[in-house]
């Protein structure tokens, strides 16, 4: 029997919007815990899900398996330090987040020409 048990964690990148004050508190809580904001959000959401008895009951219903997937998620690799990876390489930015919003390119170009 091995002395260590290694649990592979499978990460996804998801794009969500947060209230500005919530995002600030996530950063502050991450600093308080000496953790990443990703870990704070992941653990906080998992904690709420585990403590909500009504939600736990809902999960046992057939309806729970028929919920449409509304959260945009992209699968990435797994790594023990919590850094999202894809094809063995650390992801520094989510491409969807790096792209300007529609119409933003045009307004940025016009400002650059001024």
Report the C-alpha gap between 107 and 47 in whole angstroms. Answer: 42
pLDDT of residue 73: 85
In this structure, what is the dihedral angle of CA atoms 74, 43, 24, 95, given to the nearest 10 degrees?
A: -10
Higher pLDDT, 79 or 12: 12
DSSP 77: B
For residue 43, which of 29, 53, 55 has the smallest C-alpha distance?
Answer: 29
**pLDDT beyond 70 at 94:** no
Find the mean pLDDT for residues 37-60: 97
Taking the chain, what is the end-to-end CA distance rounded to the nearest angstrom?
69
């Amino acid at each position: 029997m091995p002395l260590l048990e290694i649990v592979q964690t499978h990460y996804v990148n998801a794009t969500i919007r947060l209230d500005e004050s919530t995002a600030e508190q996530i950063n502050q809580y991450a600093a308080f815990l000496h953790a990443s904001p990703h870990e704070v959000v992941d653990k906080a959401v998992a904690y709420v899900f585990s403590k909500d008895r009504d939600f736990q009951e809902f999960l046992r219903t057939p309806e729970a398996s028929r919920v449409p997937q509304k959260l945009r998620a992209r699968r990435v690799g797994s790594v023990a330090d919590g850094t999202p990876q894809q094809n063995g390489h650390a992801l520094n930015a989510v491409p969807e987040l790096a792209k300007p919003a529609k119409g933003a390119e045009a307004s940025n170009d016009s400002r650059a020409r001024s």
